[in-house]
């Protein structure tokens, strides 16, 4: 695991960008970007959750697995295009290898776990900062995805045999099981170019 200097971790955990922007130019722009990130997450999460709920009701968990694997990426691309940003999901325990966290996302996910252990609710847990990646400056936002009761059907500790078989067929290296309600399943992640 890569080690980060303590100052880098402190900046990350405090949500303070290292760009040296003046308060006048950073506060209004930052708030509008946070609002845009929250709205994108609400749209993406709400759309996906609605389709999963409908799939569970009409065809059960096996149908929901198919919908999730097919529609999550499509919804993500649609929201990204409509809102001119990149949105996705990631986790420390991934199901789909395409959702693996980058180094920044991993640090944020680890900080979410520490915040959960300290008693913070994952329902409102978020983090954002201005991030410099090489020559590219971007605004990055993440919001925790709490494990709800419905999530346990495919992500819980006890998964039906047919569901487990379908998951392993689609995701042979699945790590996204064994959760309990109230834990953090992962996070929505948003990148806005600057």
pLDDT digits (tens, 9 = 90+) for 130-169: 999 889 999 999 999 999 988 888 999 999 999 999 999 9
- Reduced to 3 states (helix: H, G, I; strand: E, B; else coil), residue 60 is helix
**pLDDT surpasses 60 at 11:** no
pLDDT recorded at residue 3: 39
Nearest to 66 by CA among 180, 187, 154, 179: 154
Query: What is the predicted pLDDT for the residue at 69?
Result: 87
Token duo for residue 121: 């609710």
The torsion angle over the Cα atoms of residues 71, 76, 77 and 78, rounded to 10 degrees, is: 90
CB 80 within 8 A of CB 176: no
Confidence of residue 28 (pLDDT cuts 50, 70, 90): low
What values do phi and psi take at 94, rounded to 5? -85, 155
| DSSP conformational letter for 24 | H
Report field, pTM of the whole predicted structure over 0.85: no
Predicted pLDDT at 162: 94
Token pair in block for residue 164: 């487990």
């Amino acid at each position: 695991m890569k080690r980060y200097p303590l100052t880098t971790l402190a900046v990350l955990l405090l949500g303070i960008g290292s760009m040296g922007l003046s308060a006048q130019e950073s506060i209004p722009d930052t708030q509008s970007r946070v609002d845009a990130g929250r709205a994108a997450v609400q749209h993406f999460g709400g759309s996906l959750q609605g389709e999963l709920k409908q799939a569970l009701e009409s065809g059960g968990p096996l149908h929901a697995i198919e919908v999730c694997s097919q529609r999550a990426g499509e919804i993500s691309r649609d929201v990204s295009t409509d809102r001119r940003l990149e949105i996705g999901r990631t986790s420390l325990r991934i199901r789909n290898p395409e959702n693996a966290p980058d180094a920044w996302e991993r640090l944020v996910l680890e900080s979410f776990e520490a915040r959960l252990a300290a008693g913070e609710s994952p329902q409102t847990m978020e983090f954002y900062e201005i991030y410099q990646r090489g020559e590219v400056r971007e605004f990055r936002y993440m919001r925790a995805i709490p494990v709800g009761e419905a999530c346990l059907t495919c992500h819980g500790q006890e998964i039906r045999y047919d569901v487990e078989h379908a998951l392993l067929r689609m995701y042979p290296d699945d790590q996204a099981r064994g959760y309990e309600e109230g834990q953090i399943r992962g996070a929505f992640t948003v990148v806005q170019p600057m």
